[in-house]
Amino acid sequence: MELQHVNVKLFVEASDETLELLIPVFHRWIQEKPLEELLLDVADYRHVYGGPGVVLIGHEANYSLDNTDNELGILYNRKTPIEGTNHSKLKQATLAALGALQRLEAEPKLNGKLRFGGKRIQLLINDRLLAPNAPETRAAVDPDMKAFGAALFGGSGYTAAYEQDSRRRFGVTLQSAQPVTTERLLANLSSRNGQAS
């Protein structure tokens, strides 16, 4: 199965105030163009309970401080298809999410109010036709997910829990046995072991 439209959510600790502070930060990113994707607009969905939060809308991808299921996280949502292996697509989306998170963790306006929890990362496929949330999809992509998890966590222990509700998007939550930093995850994916095979 060839994956596309990969989403990555990095669960974070942040206050409600952080969502408001994020709006001018995302507007500045549109102006300064610090990311690879073309960024277009900012949408404020803070009024939606357990919803998408604050979204930085781009042409190729969206970035957001997402609050789906009332769990805050930096969410990277790849919208346009890319070439490569499943591993390289998972890696591209995760590197983009980690890069945005690292930038936000260092953002002076947020004053340390947003921190990576260090343990949980969710990988989603935002295409129900391509990847329905069914046992067949899990069987088809489980080797890719396991190989990617091993590269991401650098061989240290982690668990993988697949979304069981067939009404929801196909996804897996990877949880590290020990907290890891944004920098360590970036280093793991940038190392030789993090390369696509």
CA 136, 141, 146, 152 torsion: positive or negative? negative
Quote the pLDDT of residue 196: 45
Instruction: Give per-10-residue mean pLDDT for the chain (197 aa).
Output: 96 88 96 94 93 95 95 96 96 97 94 91 95 96 95 90 95 94 93 55
Q: CA–CA separation, 8 vs 43, rounded Å?
A: 19
Q: What are phi and psi of 95, to 5 degrees?
A: -60, -40
Q: What are the Cα distances from residue 66, in Å, to 76, 100, 108, 134?
A: 9, 13, 21, 25
Q: CA–CA separation, 22 vs 18, rounded Å?
A: 6
All structural domains of the chain with their residue ranges: 6-189
Quote the distance between the C-alpha of residue 14 and its chain's center: 16
Quote the pLDDT of residue 192: 59
